[in-house]
Amino acid sequence: MAKNDSSDGLGSPILLTRFEKVLSWARKYSLWPLPFGTACCAIEFMAVVGTHYDISRYGWEVVRFSPRQADLLIVAGTVNYKIAPALKTIYEQMLEPKWVIAMGACATCGGFYNNYSVVQGVDRFIPVDVYVPGCPPKPESLIDGMMMIKEMIEKGEPRARESWEEKWKERYDK
């Protein structure tokens, strides 16, 4: 946003901006998260929306369990191959633009469940914008991750979605 300063030194009530800037400004303060909670990390997510950490300070408290009403998917917990198709369907049902956070070691890389049934990172199925480390991550860490999403929106940074398919094609088509 740019202020249109007038030469009389009194400033001007007119603000010049672009429509996308206004949209980003509104978006970053009104994320609607959908928690895909499968294990203990989801309990930590509950703390984030509780009164102590209170993400409504940032305008992100409207937690939605319908993918069509959410724009931030938070994968919180262990994801196995049986449930991965459901996660993918939920992601695909969310409207654009949308972002994804992998919360905790399990969602990021399988955590300590290095076995045949657990997905070794949800980015094998869906694009992930921010990885939040920890087992479980502290509420502050998740808030930090959400702040990163806020910054991405503010700066208009490309989402993981935009390069994800290419990345995986490269990795698996070898």
In this chain, which stretch among 8-16, 101-109, 145-153, 159-167 interacts with ligand SF4, using CB under 6 A? 101-109
Closest CA to 41 of 125, 128, 141: 141
Identify whether the C-beta of residue 72 lies closer than 8 Å to the C-beta of residue 34.
Answer: yes
Least Cβ distance, residue 107 to ligand SF4 (angstroms): 7
Binding residues for ligand SF4 restricted to 1-40, rule: CB under 6 A: 39-40
User: For the range 59-64, what are the long-range contacts, defined as Cβ-Cβ under 8 Å and sequence gap of 24 or more?
Assistant: 59/29, 59/30, 59/31, 60/30, 60/31, 60/32, 60/33, 60/146, 62/30, 62/32, 62/33, 63/32, 63/33, 63/34, 63/35, 64/32, 64/33, 64/34
Binding mask 62-81 for ligand SF4 (x = CB under 6 A): ---------------xx---
135 lies in the binding site for ligand SF4 (CB under 6 A): yes
Assess 122 for contact with ligand SF4 (CB under 6 A).
no
Q: Tell me: does residue 136 bind ligand SF4 (CB under 6 A).
A: yes
Q: Which two tokens stand for residue 154?
A: 């503010």
CB of 106 to ligand SF4, least distance (A): 3
CA distances, 154 to each of 3, 16, 26, 32, 144 (Å): 18, 17, 10, 16, 15
106 near ligand SF4 (CB under 6 A)? yes
Of the two residues 29 and 112, which places its CB atom closer to ligand SF4 in the complex? 112
Per CB under 6 A, the list member of 33, 35, 67, 104 interacting with ligand SF4 is 104
Binding residues for ligand SF4, per CB under 6 A?
39-41, 77-78, 104-106, 111, 135-136
